[in-house]
Amino acid sequence: MEFTEWIRGRTDDQLRALVSARPELITPVPAHLEGLASRAGSPSAIGRALDRLDRFTLAVVETLAVLDGPVQAAALREVVGRALAGGEPEPALSAALDRLRDLALVYGPDDGPDDGLDLAPGVRKVLDDPAGLGPAAVEVFRHHPPEQLDEMADDVAPGTPGTGRERLAAALADPAGLLGEVSDEARAALDQLAWGPPTGRVPNARREVRKGSARSPIEQLLARGLLAATGEESVTLPREVGLHLRGGRVHRDLLAVPPALEGTTRDQKQADRTAAGQAFTFVRSVEELCERWSINPPGVLRTGGLGVRDMKRTATDLDLPEWAAALVVEVAHAAGLVAAGGSVDGEWLPTSGYDLWRVRSTADRWVVLAQTWLHMDRVPGLVGERDAPDQQRDRPLNALHPDLRRSSAAPVRSAALGVLAAAPGLAPSAGSVLERLAWEQPRRRGPLREQLTEFALREAEQVGMTGLGALSGHGRALLSGDDAAGALAPLLPEPVDHVLLQADLTAVAPGPLTSELNRWMTLAADVESKGGATVYRFSDESIRRALDAGQGAEELLAALARHSATPVPQALSYLVADVARRHGRIRVGTASAYVRCDDPALLDQITADRRSAALRLRRLAPTVIASRTSRAALVDSLRAMGYAPVAESLDGDVIISQLDGRRTEGMPAARPAPPVNGLDPEVAVATVRALRAGDAAHLARREPVDAPAGAVPRGPATTTISALQEAIRQGERVWIGYLDSQGNATSRILEPARMEGGYLTAYDETRAAVHRFALHRITGVAGLS
């Protein structure tokens, strides 16, 4: 049976399963089923389908490729059974064949006596050395000189008919006798190639050697055709020899089911609580990052990204290891909460989207961050590593740098968490997860994927998807598209709205503070230590920071009293009063800059101070000093000398520094990627209907028919759309009016198949072909009796 005829004989349900599992086959939709079969045999489409197979199903494909030709189910069952530890391939083999038929990688009758199963056209060409076996002898000796093949055939199969290549291939079909003639050293060399890869390197591989003149082990093998020279220094083991050395097995140690996960069993409730705590901490880390960068934003490197020193400072501020701080930075950027903006040179600033994110509940904020992490194409784990030496750069990779993108990052995260989801309450080891993924995705293995998997497991714990190594309940809900916020909310710690002020100028937060109180405390005090309780310390600098933000001394003390469960200590009241008394006595404006003070004695003190020499001050009046430095530099220098100046506008008004108000416009947050094997069911139904209609037209080769006489149908656009949708559902023909590109009205008889993106795909009986029609050009629809 031909592959195209087999495709044509599939039921509508089976065709819908095919296009749903391999959506790349219908982008765009082929005109008929013959086109679908042709596209299914293209190398790129076959490669994508093979990439989705697990180890056992891929082994079935490789076995069919090695056996070469239609294979009876019983013979296939016998060969596959030899490779299995238990020896019984059912029911796994039947399930694998069903899946391969659904993917159109294998074709043949589904059950009963048949002509055998075979691979779809093009599959054998895509498979390189299936199961680690080399090409067949007839292929591997294809480019050898005919006279050399005749001599080899005379040595190994004297008196047999046929060409040298045919005689040699016939002799290698059962190489037991030839193998018995070679030395133990030669046999050991073959054993090294038996289980793949089937190629090796030897000097002067194309040397001419006869059976009688062979001296070395390699020459013994070359003379008998047990090794074939494929290059000046390369040799290949023929497939027939490899199968004989394997004892008739195509694979060894084959598993029909995925390997069991090994790890530590966890109490699910404890894992959920631990993951919830991590989720809360991650949300607060992102919030703290944005707050700090709104006050003191780091610069953007000329090559893009965040500088190494800025990354280290950020890690210190967040009290996190550098890899965890890089994760916070990358997720915040991918979620659209921070972006490059500010001055000409560029600064990393929070975006206006951060303000919208900040007012949401903690659970909802976590869902945004977790979804962003799961679907983003950036790899925070690479921060700090060296660039690829083959790119001749060999430089460290910075956070937020464009080179951190990897297209496989999101699929690897989903696959790794999918493995955890298959083992509830288990914290599998990284090696066990890698082993499972190697079975589930054998064609996608490699050092990078293993590294990405390790990153995914480590980052999942930091983000709060897992707790104690086991997938959490809210993490499972996020993966399945359920209400993750609802599952997480009851597990989050209840925020507190008070602190405990102490006499040593510290405040203790007995738990996680509310978002607003946390922002206020971060402004008025410095975090001294974190843990079960956060300790804040008040200082001259922190109080001045709050005063610079526009708060007065009385307002500051009132806020402290309102949010403290203990009375405001006298020492803290004195500190606020003292800083407020000195705050703003000196005012700095623009001369380049000037210093103005109502107390001439204080200005005398400044000009007499040796530390002010670099400021190049000049007394303009008893209460005014001018400087050539900028206003910002002058303010910073005077504060470093122990004074408390404030900036002044040209009108003499105090400039209030809104330290937490800097924002920029950023890129939108990363959107979840569509599922690899997903296709809307309605699209699948419409596609199959269009393929059937196009195939019927292709086979019938119908002649064009004349449109009905009379006026071209006309009607409202809404009525036209509704009539077409109804015709698609009922499978009916319709008569339409259509304006061509020149605006001329034409009449068509159609069999509508599907409608999307402003176009109608239908079989046009008046043209005897499948066409796409712009909906806005259809003037009206009428039924046909």
Q: Quick check: 135 pLDDT over 50?
A: yes
Q: Hey, what are 368's tokens? A: 């945004």
pLDDT of the residue at 651: 67
**Stretch 409-427: mean pLDDT:** 92
- Phi-psi category of 573—alpha, beta or left, where left has phi over 0 and alpha has psi -120 to 50? alpha
Give long-range contacts, CB 8 A cutoff, 24+ apart: 93-100.
93/60, 93/256, 96/56, 96/57, 96/60, 97/60, 97/73, 99/53, 99/57, 100/57, 100/60, 100/61
3-state secondary structure string, 303-354? Answer: CCCECHHHHHHHHHHHCCCHHHHHHHHHHHHHCCCEEEECCCCCEEEEEHHH
**Class (C level, CATH) for 702-783:** mainly beta
Provide the percentage of residues in the chain whose pLDDT is more than 90: 26
Q: Quick check: 631 pLDDT over 50?
A: yes
Q: Quick check: 110 pLDDT over 70?
A: no
Q: How far apart are alpha carbons 59 and 73 in whole angstroms?
A: 15
* CA 7 vs CA 53, 82, 687, 695: distances in Å: 21, 32, 15, 11
Q: Quick check: 668 pLDDT over 70?
A: no
Site of tokens 């956060």: 534
pLDDT of the residue at 53: 93
The model's pTM is 0.71
Q: How far apart are alpha carbons 437 and 446 in whole angstroms?
A: 11
* CA 490 vs CA 272, 273, 361: distances in Å: 11, 10, 12
pLDDT of the residue at 326: 94
Q: Quick check: 743 pLDDT over 90?
A: no
DSSP 68: -
- Judged by DSSP in three states, 40 sits in helix
Q: Quick check: 103 pLDDT over 90?
A: yes
Domain boundaries of the chain, sorted by first residue: 3-128, 137-245, 263-491, 500-563, 587-647, 702-783
Q: Quick check: 113 pLDDT over 50?
A: no
| pLDDT tens, position by position, 155-180 | 888 888 888 888 888 888 899 988 98
Pick from 280, 264, 283, 260: nearest CA to 470: 264
**Stretch 88-102: mean pLDDT:** 90
| pLDDT tens, position by position, 642-657 | 888 888 877 677 776 5
Q: How far apart are alpha carbons 770 and 751 in whole angstroms?
A: 9
**Stretch 280-291: mean pLDDT:** 90
Beta bridge partners of 624: 596, 621
Q: How far apart are alpha carbons 785 and 781 in whole angstroms?
A: 13
Confidence grade of residue 703 (pLDDT, cut at 50, 70, 90): low
| pLDDT tens, position by position, 537-575 | 999 888 888 888 777 888 888 888 888 888 889 888 888
* CA 472 vs CA 362, 371, 445, 484, 489: distances in Å: 17, 15, 27, 10, 13
Query: H or E element: which one contains 473?
Result: helix 473-480
Q: How far apart are alpha carbons 625 and 647 in whole angstroms?
A: 14
Question: Among 170-179, 519-528, 715-724, where is mean pLDDT lowest?
Answer: 519-528
Q: How far apart are alpha carbons 267 and 260 in whole angstroms?
A: 19
**Stretch 709-723: mean pLDDT:** 85
Q: How far apart are alpha carbons 348 and 363 in whole angstroms?
A: 26
Centroid of chain to Cα 222: 48
| pLDDT tens, position by position, 362-372 | 899 999 999 99
Cα-based angle 340, 346, 349 (whole degrees, multiple of 5): 40
Q: How far apart are alpha carbons 19 and 15 in whole angstroms?
A: 6
Q: Quick check: 331 pLDDT over 70?
A: yes
